[in-house]
Amino acid sequence: MTKAAIAPIIVWFRKDLRLADNRALAAAASEASVIPLYIREPMESGNGPLGAAQLWWLHHSIKALSDRLEKQGARLTLRSGEPLDVISALARETGATTIYWNRRYDPSGIATDTALKKGLSDQGLTAESFSGQLLHEPMRLQTTTGGPYRVFTPFWRALESKIGPVAPIDAPEQIAAPKSWPQSDRLDDWSLLPKRPDWAATFTEIWTPGEKGAADRLEDFIDGKVADYKRDRDRPAVDGTSLLSPHLALGEISPAQAWHATERLQGDGVATFRKELAWREFSYHLLFHYPQLPQRNLDRRFDAFPWMNADDAFVRWTRGLTGFPIVDAGMRQLWRHGYMHNRVRMIVASFLIKDLLVDWRKGEAWFRDTLVDADPANNAASWQWVAGCGADAAPFFRVFNPVLQGEKFDPEGAYVKRFVPELQRLSPRYIHRPFEAPEAALEAAGIRLGSTYPEPMVDHAVARDRALAAFRKIKGSAEEQ
Ligand code: FAD
């Protein structure tokens, strides 16, 4: 019997918008004809709520997936609604009795999957899920006492010793078509693109969503940048990191593909890169075991933290108008490219939380809306890490000094100048502290503080003392980096 003669299998794509290393797709393609499906789920369901920047990415990623499937003779069906309703209806229409998908590990994704599996089996349908979003299954990796890890290093050791054998698989050579293709929504009707198209227009300066864009990024990294990654990854002016995060976030590439691309390489760069991939795993491990991670302090003592949450301060931070050049450059890079360098993410997050005393959850939400790589696990775990209330977190009393951080990691001010053009002509000596520049230096650079570029919105030394006093209300002692 040909594959087309057997009942087709529905493959539900979610955060795995790729053909290679896609175990659900590979299994289906080896057994029967395939109906690839993407569901626009309601906001509260498994895929959402995605922020505006990531919806832009999703639009282009779905388009790329659809084009790629078409080259293989397959068609991506787009439907909107509750997954159980959509899949049940599609199964009835097409005669499919089996549904495959790759697992997600965020709380709403898990809840959707659990309910779906039961709902489908109640209807006599077969539902099977596969792994592919992570290198490890969070339920399997446990400490010696049987609980989840809360400290990175032992987690990393356990992960490293267990993941060696998991090799990525190729895209299916053939995907057999069903007897007929179901009707599909039109992608454009989903209105995923932002209402202000000029905002996202600058994203394309650096991004190409889709599986090919992801593969090109990986190749570029492995062929060059990885060798100096350990040194360059902390330099925001240098194009020294993989830029894989938005591709990983929607699964256009799997972590196994990224990991295995480094397999025949050696050196500090590779070791550090693998460790960063492991931080992603650690974040998912935390989210899986602490599903409230995006909403609730892991360290519950922070529930009593006296946040100020001043709206005007928050707005100035979002717009990159704080008067601290490294913070402003980061926030404007975020607006321009839907991305921010990791070092600068730490600096701007510390500034919001500790200099402005704004609750980390407000920063997390802003990042979620504006990052193309917004990720429920990495974002929440990283914000909690900076705030000092997360697992294995930087202590709260370690307050980043935005001037010293800028001078250390962007010594020439090249990063600042790229995103804060009004400081373009200021000398490296003052680029991170324009408020200390003599009048003549400012005038020569065409800067009028308070007019062409803001005065600093806080005195960092005073703000730091205020933060530490607030912190002492929930615990003790101080130190500065
Ligand atoms: P590379 O340096 O090339 O690293 C490779 C991959 O490892 C990344 O793509 C990412 O998947 C993972 N990774 C790297 N650093 C971390 C980290 N600290 N924690 C977890 N995983 C990591 N990352 C996101 O993917 N989505 C987010 O929403 C996100 N929010 C963040 C918020 C804050 C406040 C901070 C401090 C960090 C956040 N990160 C987030 C982590 C990190 O900044 C990005 O993963 C990284 O900058 C992406 O660039 P890259 O792909 O070139 O990274």
Q: For this structure, is 279 an active site residue?
A: yes
Angle between helix 402-409 and helix 342-350 axes, rounded to 10 deg: 170
Distance, CA of 129 to CA of 170 (rounded, Å): 18
Distance, CA of 18 to CA of 430 (rounded, Å): 47
Ligand 1: centre distance to CA 80 (Å)? 30
Distance, CA of 120 to CA of 127 (rounded, Å): 7
Domains of the chain: 3-133 (3.40.50.620), 134-166+209-289 (1.25.40.80), 300-475 (1.10.579.10)
Contacts of 249 (CB under 8 A, 6+ apart): 15, 54, 57, 372, 373, 374, 375
Q: What is the pLDDT of residue 479?
A: 41
Q: What is the pLDDT along the chain (481 residues), one digit of tens a residue?
A: 676 668 999 999 999 999 999 999 999 999 999 999 999 988 655 555 789 999 999 999 999 999 999 999 999 999 999 999 999 999 999 999 999 999 999 888 888 899 999 999 999 999 999 999 999 888 888 898 989 999 999 999 999 887 665 789 999 999 999 999 999 999 999 999 998 878 999 999 999 999 999 999 999 999 999 999 999 999 999 999 999 999 999 999 999 999 999 988 889 999 999 999 999 999 999 999 999 999 999 999 999 999 999 999 999 999 999 999 999 999 999 999 999 999 999 999 999 999 999 999 999 999 999 999 999 999 999 999 999 999 887 788 889 999 999 999 999 999 999 999 999 999 999 999 999 999 999 999 999 999 999 999 999 999 999 999 999 988 743 344 4
Name the residue with tokens 């990654």: 229
Ligand 1: centre distance to CA 251 (Å)? 14
Ligand 1: centre distance to CA 382 (Å)? 8
Ligand 1 interacting residues, C-beta cut-off 6 A: 233, 241-245, 248-249, 276-277, 279-280, 283, 342, 345-346, 349, 367, 371, 373-375, 378-379, 382-383, 386
Q: For this structure, is 335 an active site residue?
A: no
| Residue among 15, 231, 373 whose CB has most ligand 1 atoms within 8 A, to mutate | 373
Distance, CA of 297 to CA of 383 (rounded, Å): 10
Predicted TM-score of the model (pTM): 0.96
Residue 123 backbone phi and psi in degrees, to 5: -90, 5
Q: What is the pLDDT of residue 393?
A: 79
Q: Which of 156, 199, 307, 335 is catalytic?
A: 307
Ligand 1: centre distance to CA 339 (Å)? 10
Q: For this structure, is 366 an active site residue?
A: no
Residue 155 near residue 282, CB atoms below 8 Å: yes
Q: Which of 31, 276, 335, 407 is catalytic?
A: 276
Q: Which of 12, 57, 207, 279 is catalytic?
A: 279
Residue 331: closest CA among 243, 397, 263, 420: 420
Residue 104 near residue 133, CB atoms below 8 Å: yes
Going 330 to 331 to 332 to 338, the CA torsion angle's sign is positive
Ligand 1: centre distance to CA 342 (Å)? 6
Q: For this structure, is 307 an active site residue?
A: yes
